[in-house]
Amino acid sequence: MKVQILRVAAIIAVLVAGTITSVRAQSSHLVAVNIPFEFSVRGKTLPPGKYLVRRALPGIRESLVITDEKGRSAAAFVTMQVETRMPQTEGKLVFNKYGEQYFLSQIWEAGESAGRALIKSKRERSLERQTEKIAMTRETVTLIARH
């Protein structure tokens, strides 16, 4: 477990250092979506806006970066593969919502039966535990990608 955490931390450090360069160097994105609310990605809060999700490092499916179209807001993160039986008809982002707080949870590309899931941050895990203790409900919000 410690080795995995250290590996994730090292990858995130490299991603953060090269996020802007990597985003500008890549021409294709996995998903483009307009997010109408403030949301969190691995402890970083991003404002509403139009966002692109791309691979942070070429050929490495686990490392992704989300950036607004103007390049002002960005967050790099490591993901795990999740699968469904049927390929997705549209690309989409899935968020977990606790009260008024949104957390990016999954990324799905159109035509793919395998998506990417984010590891929950400490803050999200804490809110998840709180929802079990009080009457707060967790919702899932899905935004369809634009073409």
Q: Higher pLDDT residue, 50 or 1?
A: 50
Residue 146 has pLDDT above 90, yes or no: no
User: pLDDT digits over 28-47, tens only?
Assistant: 678 999 999 999 998 899 99
pLDDT of res. 86: 92
% the chain with pLDDT above 90: 58
Residue 108 corresponds to which amino acid? W
pLDDT band (50, 70, 90) for residue 18: very low
Q: Higher pLDDT residue, 141 or 147?
A: 141
Residue 145 has pLDDT above 70, yes or no: yes
Beta-carbon count within 10 A of 68 CB = 16
Domain count along the chain: 1
Q: 32: domain range?
A: 2-144
Separation CA 67–CA 75 (nearest Å): 7
Six token digits for residue 110: 């159109």
pLDDT band (50, 70, 90) for residue 71: confident
Separation CA 65–CA 20 (nearest Å): 9
Lowest-confidence region among 14-18, 20-24, 45-49, 129-133: 20-24
* Nearest Cα residue to 144 out of 95, 87, 82, 90: 90
On the 0-12 / 13-18 / 19+ scale of CB atoms within 10 A, 122 is exposed
